[in-house]
Amino acid sequence: MADPPARRAPCRLNTVRFAMSRSLSSPHTPTLYLLCGKIAAGKSTLAATLAREHNAVIVSEDAWLARLYGPEMHDVADYVRCAARLKEAMTPHLEALLRAGVSLVLDFPANTLQSRAWMKTLITTSGAAHELHWLDVPDAVCLARLRARNLQGDHDFAATDAQFAQITRYFVPPDAQEGFNVVAHRGDPGNCA
């Protein structure tokens, strides 16, 4: 019996792969899937798709932050402080999972040089393969999705337009010199949320 056809990602994006430092994932090496994109670009939706397609475990920054620090988080400074504590606590665990052969979808924003440097350390220390999925979605689309998501009330955090603007100022697209295997998702963003 033939295998069923592969499921397509829920996003209608033009996907471009360009390998920078090492080959893309192999079936014998655990893979760390990373996500880069502004707020409401579709990172968590893509994370779910990647986890399903590659039998990987999702580790969600938003979920962990909400459960551990939710009442402490009121503004961007609180996010930065709590996210740093979370990364420090999670690093040895994430490295151990990867070394044990577990593929992970790290649903943490790979949006700054500093955050990607931390992720690069996870890759180097664990020896895992990796893919950095970059969702290149226009700000207007992200803001529309953010507002809709906030109205639905089903996300761990409800960022305001002002917080979106503040956080977006720090966004740095991935660069070839960083040495990541980038999978760029561009074009019609479709129904990612």
> Domains of the chain (ranges plus CATH)?
14-186 (3.40.50.300)
**Average pLDDT of 167-181?**
93
d(C-alpha 152, C-alpha 133), whole Å:
26
> In the predicted model, what is the mean pLDDT of residues 167-193?
81
Distance CA(123)–CA(191), nearest Å, equals 30
pLDDT confidence tier of residue 184, bands split at 50, 70 and 90: very high
User: Where is pLDDT greater, at 103 or 187?
Assistant: 103
pLDDT recorded at residue 148: 86
Report pLDDT for 4.
43
Q: What pLDDT score does 17 carry?
A: 46
Beta pairing class for 182-186 and 14-18: antiparallel
Percent of the chain with pLDDT over 70: 80
How far apart CA 157 and CA 111 sit, in angstroms, is 18
CB neighbours of 188 closer than 8 A, spacing ≥ 6?
12, 13, 14
Counting Cβ atoms within 10 Å, is residue 23 exposed (0-12), middle (13-18) or buried (19+)?
exposed
CA angle 179, 44, 88 (to 5 degrees): 60
| Mean pLDDT for the chain overall | 83
Count the neighbouring beta carbons within 10 Å of the beta carbon of residue 126: 20
pLDDT at position 120: 98
